[in-house]
Amino acid sequence: MRVLILGGDGYLGWPTAMQLSALGHEVTVVDNYLRRNICREMDVRPLFEVPSLDERAAIWKEKSGKDVKVYIGDLMDWSFTAEVFEKTRPEAVIHYAEQPSAPYSMASRRAATLTLKNNLEATANAIFAVREFARDAHIVKIGTMGEYGTPNIDIEEGWIDIEHKGRSQKFLYPRQASSLYHTTKIMDTDMLWFYVRMWGLKVTDLMQGPVYGLITDESQDDERLFPFFNYDELFGTVLNRFIVQAVVGYPLTVYGSGGQTRGYLNIKDTLNCVRLSLENPPEKPDLRIFNQFTETFSVNELAEKVQRAGKTLGLDVEVKSVPNPRKEAEEHYYNPAHTGLLDLGLEPKFLTDDVMAKMMEVVMKHKHNIYRDSIFRGVKWD
């Protein structure tokens, strides 16, 4: 299949590109290095330097004999987007090309408008380009579980049947996010649903929880192919942060009372969820939604697990509650459905002590790079 990956430089984009290329798909990646540039601007650094996309494609070619085609440019620029789609004529488009940090989106007016513009315009241009150059392409979009927020009722998989005054209809499940970044993902979902109704697109919107992990099958024997791994407050997801904090002896930063519960998944499962969605496209025009996570944990549970795994490596891990910089419920009901991807054949890789210890071992090798000042900045939501 000709697959176009938007946002191919990121934490998930590059590992996805390698996996699909290894499976024999014809892969093209696009990126404008937005995440790298914001990291530089905000003085936060990935755990290890990551070669440019062109360099990584060359390393991958050397290892696998397979080509990954690279375009560097901005998807907010229509002429660039049109050129990429016209030359590629993708059969599937995987859309990761968004500013992915909730704290960054709340850091300033400039960061907020950048997030709004980038995320919505990239999505709109991708939709327009599919219509013009790849009419039958299946769009696989990364949304977020954060679109739903933490309602006091069970979370369904994207849709809910509403009965009202004796009549009923299926609607998008109610959404109420707790950051501007998450709100842009709600807007993306709405926009996709609108164009599914208008133009008959085929879309899979993956409501993904926070991802953890470092190594995927294609990068395990070559660190130059590792993903862009953040552990700072802005771009690091909580478990990745805790693993790095454990290694460098920084007390685990549990925000507030630590009862915040989310659905988590291993980066290897992200790749498999995306692959399964790709291999099983909707048969007719549709907005198909899957909740993409494998296990739910509270922040306190994660901290305890990291503390225990650290012990097996001789690390004395301290856990410390810090005043929560975010506005979010710290104690809440959380029961989201997640059967769609399991039904497609997902075999989850659960969070074991061994998985965490292996991550810690890799992080230890790069301990000298850890920039302690970036671990907690306290970006306040209000």
Which residues are designated catalytic?
A: 144, 181, 185
Closer of 145 and 289 to ligand USQ (Cβ): 145
Closer of 48 and 255 to ligand USQ (Cβ): 255
Cα 20 from Cα 28, distance rounded (Å): 10
- Beta-bridge partners for 203: 139, 287
Cα 100 from Cα 237, distance rounded (Å): 10
Closer of 90 and 336 to ligand USQ (Cβ): 336
Q: Kindly list the residues in this chain that would bind ligand USQ in the complex (CB under 6 A).
A: 100-102, 144-146, 182, 208-210, 237-238, 241, 253-255, 260, 262, 299, 326, 328
CA distances from residue 144 to 101, 141, 209, 299 in whole angstroms, order as listed: 11, 10, 6, 18
Closer of 28 and 266 to ligand USQ (Cβ): 266
314: closest CA among 367, 360, 254? 360
In the complex, the smallest distance separating the C-beta of residue 355 from ligand USQ, rounded to whole angstroms, is 17
278: closest CA among 267, 266, 288? 288
Closer of 85 and 181 to ligand USQ (Cβ): 181
- Beta-bridge partners for 155: 336
In the complex, the smallest distance separating the C-beta of residue 43 from ligand USQ, rounded to whole angstroms, is 18
Cα 116 from Cα 113, distance rounded (Å): 5
In the complex, the smallest distance separating the C-beta of residue 125 from ligand USQ, rounded to whole angstroms, is 20
Cα 360 from Cα 382, distance rounded (Å): 34
Cα 144 from Cα 123, distance rounded (Å): 15
What is the identity of the amino acid at 94?
A: I
- CB-based closest residue to ligand USQ: 146
Closer of 8 and 146 to ligand USQ (Cβ): 146
In the complex, the smallest distance separating the C-beta of residue 171 from ligand USQ, rounded to whole angstroms, is 21
In the complex, the smallest distance separating the C-beta of residue 159 from ligand USQ, rounded to whole angstroms, is 18
In the complex, the smallest distance separating the C-beta of residue 238 from ligand USQ, rounded to whole angstroms, is 3
